[in-house]
């Protein structure tokens, strides 16, 4: 019996369903969670979001995004199951589930997934967790041939996940299935231009200036194979903005001819947060795992608690250098 079918049965048998994702949720986490939320509501299920985080500005166009207020962080009474999306490790869940007596359902696509939860389904072939959610919603009875606003809203969430986790259909994680789901969503009227504009062409002037500052200080190391971008918190203070998502900034590192690895490190409240991206064969997940992080071969991250930006930089570069040799 297929585990995803088992999961769909458990969901159909559940009255109250909590939905959450990884901390600092990205487009795939949010798109997957809101697709499931809206899908379950279409099926008249009592579903709700649990989130320590507020969803970032560029994802607020998705239906239900405003329901993540950052205030509801534990399941409410009588919740039968909590579905956790796009989150590889129990510790990184954007909810406190320690005292939850019901079942945790873990749906993901990270090869590093710990397989926490009573039920887990990790499809490492999926470019985005949204591919798993698409399949699950079909099993639950959502008809993606149905051209109505409810289905289009769900489709908009899923398409957003696909775009954000594939670098707009650019990365090697894209498969026939990725394009096939995108095509099916386009067919029922999901508006790809509207999604792209909301995601990418909606930045504040200050954010563009932050990009400028970060790029101005970018360094090329190790025979110009590694691009290093550092973002101290002071940058945000100077411009009067929250630093927020920086995946658009690290992408510039890989645009440089000859660069194999891009490393972006930002100073956070209690330490440093690093993002790693690679162009071809270099395995950044391996580097991230050595330092307590995780992710995918070509996109990984590390949270370094209590470690200052420069120290974090040295630790990571040391590991990168070993791999480059």
Q: Return the bridge partners of 57, or none.
A: none
- Minimum CB distance to ligand 5GP, residue 303 (Å): 4
- Minimum CB distance to Mn ion, residue 13 (Å): 27
Of 122 and 226, the one with the shorter C-beta distance to Mn ion is 122
Q: Are 170 and 127 in contact (CB under 8 A)?
A: no
Q: Return the bridge partners of 303, or none.
A: 273
Of 62 and 259, the one with the shorter C-beta distance to Mn ion is 62
**Interface map 104-143 toward Mn ion (x if CB under 5 A):** -------------------------x--------------
Is residue 319 part of the contact set for Mn ion (CB under 5 A)? no
Of 46 and 289, the one with the shorter C-beta distance to ligand 5GP is 289
Instruction: Return the ∠ at Cα 299 (arms to 297 and 304), rounded to 5°.
Output: 110
Of 12 and 215, the one with the shorter C-beta distance to ligand 5GP is 215
Q: Are 204 and 56 in contact (CB under 8 A)?
A: no
- Minimum CB distance to ligand 5GP, residue 93 (Å): 12
230 binds, among Mn ion, ligand 5GP, none (CB under 5 to 8 A by kind): none
Residue entry with tokens 């048998």: 13
Is residue 165 part of the contact set for Mn ion (CB under 5 A)? yes
| Part in contact with Mn ion (CB under 5 A); list of ranges 49-57, 79-87, 232-240, 257-265 | 79-87
- Minimum CB distance to Mn ion, residue 86 (Å): 4
Written as six digits, the tokens of 166 are 């594939």
| Part in contact with Mn ion (CB under 5 A); list of ranges 80-88, 214-222, 250-258, 294-302 | 80-88
Going by DSSP bridges, is the β-strand pair 103-108/119-122 parallel, antiparallel, or unpaired?
Answer: parallel
- Minimum CB distance to ligand 5GP, residue 94 (Å): 12
Interface positions with ligand 5GP (CB under 6 A): 22, 26, 88-89, 92, 110, 247, 275, 293-296, 299-303
Q: Which of 7, 20, 64, 86 binds Mn ion (CB under 5 A)?
A: 86
Q: How far apart are CA 241 and CA 209, in angstroms?
A: 11
28 binds, among Mn ion, ligand 5GP, none (CB under 5 to 8 A by kind): Mn ion
Is residue 28 part of the contact set for Mn ion (CB under 5 A)? yes
Residue 181's nearest CA partner among 139, 132, 147 is: 132
Q: How far apart are the first and last CA of the chain?
A: 46
> Phi, psi at residue 123, to the nearest 5°?
-105, 100
Q: How many Cα atoms within 13 Å fall on the side-chain side of residue 144? A: 23
Contacts 24+ apart (CB under 8 A), 192-196: 192/159, 192/163, 194/61, 194/156, 195/156, 195/159, 195/160, 195/163, 196/163, 196/168
The residue ranges that bind Mn ion (CB under 5 A) are 28, 86, 129, 165
């Amino acid at each position: 019996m297929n585990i995803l079918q088992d999961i769909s049965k458990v969901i159909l048998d559940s009255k109250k369903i909590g939905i959450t994702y990884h901390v600092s949720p990205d487009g795939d986490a949010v798109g997957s969670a809101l697709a499931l939320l809206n899908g379950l509501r279409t099926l008249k299920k009592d579903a709700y979001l649990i989130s320590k985080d507020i969803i970032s500005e560029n994802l607020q166009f998705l239906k239900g995004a405003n329901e993540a207020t950052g205030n509801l962080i534990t399941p409410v009474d009588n919740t039968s199951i909590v579905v956790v999306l796009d989150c590889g490790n129990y510790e990184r869940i954007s909810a406190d589930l320690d005292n939850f007596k019901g079942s945790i359902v873990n749906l993901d696509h990270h090869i590093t997934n710990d397989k926490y939860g009573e039920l887990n389904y990790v499809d490492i072939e999926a470019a985005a967790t949204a591919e798993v959610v698409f399949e699950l919603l079909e099993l639950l009875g959502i008809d993606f041939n149905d051209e109505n606003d409810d289905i289009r809203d769900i489709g908009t969430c899923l398409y957003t996940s696909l775009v954000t986790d594939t670098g707009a259909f650019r990365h090697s994680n894209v498969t026939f299935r990725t394009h096939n789901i995108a095509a099916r969503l386009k067919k029922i009227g999901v508006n790809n231009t509207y999604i792209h504009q909301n995601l990418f062409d909606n930045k504040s002037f200050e954010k563009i200036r932050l990009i400028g500052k970060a790029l101005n200080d970018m360094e090329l190391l190790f025979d110009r194979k590694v691009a290093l971008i550092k973002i101290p918190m002071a940058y945000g203070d100077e411009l009067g903005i929250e630093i927020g998502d920086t995946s658009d900034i690290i992408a510039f590192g890989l645009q440089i001819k000859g660069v194999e690895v891009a490393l972006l490190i930002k100073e956070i409240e209690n330490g440093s947060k690093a993002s790693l991206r690679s162009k071809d064969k270099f395995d950044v997940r391996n580097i991230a795992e050595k330092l307590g992080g995780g992710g995918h071969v070509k996109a990984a991250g590390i949270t370094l608690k209590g470690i200052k930006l420069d120290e974090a930089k040295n630790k990571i570069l040391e590991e990168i250098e070993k791999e480059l040799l």
